[in-house]
Structure 1
Amino acid sequence: MTTRVVLVSPATSPELREARFGGGGSVDERGAARARAAAGSLPGAVRTLISPSARCRETAAELGLHGLDAPELAPLDVGRWRGRTLDEVGAAEPEAVARWLADPSGAPHGGESVEDVCARVGGWLESAAQVPGRTVAVVEPEIVRAAVVHALGIPAAAFWRLDVPPLTATELSGRAARWNVRLGSPL
């Protein structure tokens, strides 16, 4: 049985451009227009899942996707840094930011570590492998990174080296606990 999982990254938002941690804000008009233009471009799926962030819900709606909320695919929990920009946190806590970016087991913000999110998403991906057919999920970029880290069995230290542009699809296909990855196809 082959399983296919298509992970769609959401449209742009002001928070994305500001490098704001877990801002949870809405997509901007340009991102919404790009998503509407891409509606119908995704393959059919046996199930559609949507991360609980506003950006993912709005992107899914603009793409014409109706799906189930997927709390297991929630964005990385950045604890007390939530809502702040990388520049703000970097100025206030430079050592903590450096440690967080260098150490996948670190969570100086009090939320999840990169290893934690990779384990959470890896567990979800293995359960998704039991569902035949195609799953489409609209998720934040860090969830795409975590899935790729798990699927390829690469170290969590590679997490920050994976770029996930807005409105791209990353497809994972697998059978018998072996995954292949097709990265970042534009919608």
Structure 2
Amino acid sequence: MTVRVMLISPAVTASREARFGDDGPLDAAGLRRTRGAAGAVPAAGLVLTAPSPRCRDTAAALGADARAEPALRDLDAGRWRGRGLTELSASEPGALAAWLTDPGAAPHGGESVRDVVARAGTWLDGLPDGRVLAVTTPAVIRAALVHALALPAESFWRLDVQPLTLTELSGRGGRWNLRCGAPLAVPGPAHGESPAAPEA
């Protein structure tokens, strides 16, 4: 038997600047967009979510009765938590550049890219047979793809995971197939509402 893993990235809040470790709840616009996609969520025997409010809110708005799974938590940004890329580019340009180019670097004191790839890989390889649905952050989805496809860790930042998309992996025993992230059926922005900004 095989496992089919369906990874859904959470909605984003359009009104906030993207920041490291931003795990705040969805705003009303994000919740509306997510509820509009609820009918497109595939069925699964095991439904999980990352423990962050944003992922839990997304899972709930999609109608998924999900259990929080610590292994799906976002990449630990250490002392950079709550800070934006613009701020770090000005205050710590060398450290930020090292982190974005060296998968083993963790100048913020949290997890390196290699760390999160190892964590996501351990979770992925330990899943039971059957259909698994998980709402988790773009970083964990990137990490799972790097692990499943045996990509070099340097490719982590080259994988773009858009909000409210579905990425599917199927396989077993270290051999995985990928169905690339397809958008869930989300209606366009409501009158007077700005579309969500892409995730950093």
Residue identity opposite 1:155 in structure 2: P
Structure 2: gaps of 5 or more residues: 185-200
Residue identity opposite 1:44 in structure 2: A
RMSD between aligned residues: 1.1
Q: Which residue of 2 aligns with 1:89?
A: 88
Question: SS of 1:184's equivalent?
Answer: strand
Q: Which residue of 1 aligns with 2:3?
A: 3
Question: SS of 1:120's equivalent?
Answer: helix
1: CA distance between counterparts of 2:14 and 2:35? 18
2: CA distance between counterparts of 1:73 and 1:125? 10
| TM-superposition CA deviations, 1:89-120 (whole Å, max 9, x none) | 11110000000000000000000000000000
Question: SS of 1:72's equivalent?
Answer: helix
Question: SS of 2:74's equivalent?
Answer: coil
Q: Which residue of 2 aligns with 1:162?
A: 159
Contact preservation (8 Å) 2:60, 2:66: no
Contact preservation (8 Å) 2:14, 2:30: no
The alignment of Structure 1 onto Structure 2 pairs a total of residues equal to: 184
1: CA distance between counterparts of 2:119 and 2:54? 21
2: CA distance between counterparts of 1:65 and 1:4? 17
Q: Which moved more, 1:156-165 or 1:17-26?
A: 17-26
1: CA distance between counterparts of 2:81 and 2:13? 16
| TM-superposition CA deviations, 1:31-56 (whole Å, max 9, x none) | 21111011131221111001011110
2:139 paired with 1:142? yes
Q: Which moved more, 1:67-76 or 1:20-29?
A: 20-29
Deviation at 1:14, TM superposition (A): 4.6
The correspondence of residues 122-137 of structure 1 with structure 2, limited to 5 A, is 122-128=121-127, 131-137=128-134
Q: Which residue of 1 aligns with 2:110?
A: 111
1: CA distance between counterparts of 2:150 and 2:99? 21
1: CA distance between counterparts of 2:52 and 2:63? 17
Question: SS of 1:173's equivalent?
Answer: strand
Deviation at 1:30, TM superposition (A): 2.2
2:167 paired with 1:178? no
The correspondence of residues 14-33 of structure 1 with structure 2, limited to 5 A, is 14=14, 18-33=17-32
Contact preservation (8 Å) 1:12, 1:30: no
Q: Which residue of 2 aligns with 1:75?
A: 74
Contact preservation (8 Å) 2:125, 2:173: no
Q: What is the TM-score with the length of structure 2 in the denominator? A: 0.89
* Residues 104, 83 of structure 1: alpha-carbon distance in 2 compared, 3 angstrom cutoff: same
Contact preservation (8 Å) 1:14, 1:25: no
Q: Which residue of 2 aligns with 1:51?
A: 50
Residue identity opposite 1:11 in structure 2: A
